[in-house]
Amino acid sequence: MSYIDMKYISTYYYANVIQGVIEDPSSYLMNLESIFGDSGVLNYIEPFKKRSNLHAFIEFIIDSLFWEQYSKLKISNCIDRSHFDFDNPRYITPLEHIFEEYGVDHLSFMEWWNDSEEDILEERHFEDYYQELVLLEGYYKVIELLGEEVFYILFLNRKLLQEFNEIFSSYLNMCDGDDFAMEFVKENSLEPILKTDYKLKRVSIPSWVKRAVYFRDRGACTKCGKDLSGYLSLENQENYDHIVPLNLYGFNDVTNIQLLCKECNSKKSGYQRAAETKYQSWYKK
């Protein structure tokens, strides 16, 4: 599938929250520890997965935001389709609206309610309903669809991608010398992709990664702006550069790659530099 049917339901809201977490991970430290701590980061080192590390991260955050929403949901946050006929309530919870927009089958709150033995609707029931909802396939389908939209927006933001990859590399760095990590590597046979100091080995970059990065960066060096399309000059070679270098515990992930020309790439050679924040505008002023 190469097209995303963008619904733009809360897409910017989730993108904004995720940007906040990436920029200030300490505000979210507990949850990050549960993903990356205790060598958990080693679950993300497999090179160039199409469901990139950012996809996984976005989905994790959306999932926890959904949970947060239901754990403190008020009836007043729901759409009342009974038009205040309290004897025959018909409440639609916020998440159901998203399910409906995406056309994903799900258990509705009222279906759940009618099947339950409860007599009086209380707000704690939303939490019970949510517990059941997460067990169904549609729940993760919606997170995936929403996550795809958020990824589409965030993938353009190289500065954020750098900060995101720095979080991963700081956790990978911590694995060096950790007994637990050593065991994890053995158990999961990760030796072929890791060096002994826990830096990731260089692998060839798949063509789908190159194309994604080439199109995002509009076929030009992100540092000096040189056109690398190759239409007019055979000298301009494109180089796919790790934003956080492998020798600084960078990852082989589509979110950690940017386009550089040969000269800018050789100047960078293994050093980290702030990601380029210049973008060619849509049209000239």
List residues binding Zn ion (CB under 5 A).
Answer: 221, 223-224, 226, 261, 264
- Which is nearer to Zn ion, 199 or 216 (by Cβ)? 216
Amino acid at 262: K
The CB-of-242 to Zn ion minimum distance in angstroms stands at: 16
The CB-of-265 to Zn ion minimum distance in angstroms stands at: 8
The CB-of-271 to Zn ion minimum distance in angstroms stands at: 15
The CB-of-192 to Zn ion minimum distance in angstroms stands at: 33
- Which is nearer to Zn ion, 58 or 260 (by Cβ)? 260
- Which is nearer to Zn ion, 221 or 243 (by Cβ)? 221
The CB-of-239 to Zn ion minimum distance in angstroms stands at: 9
- Which is nearer to Zn ion, 7 or 262 (by Cβ)? 262
- Which is nearer to Zn ion, 125 or 223 (by Cβ)? 223
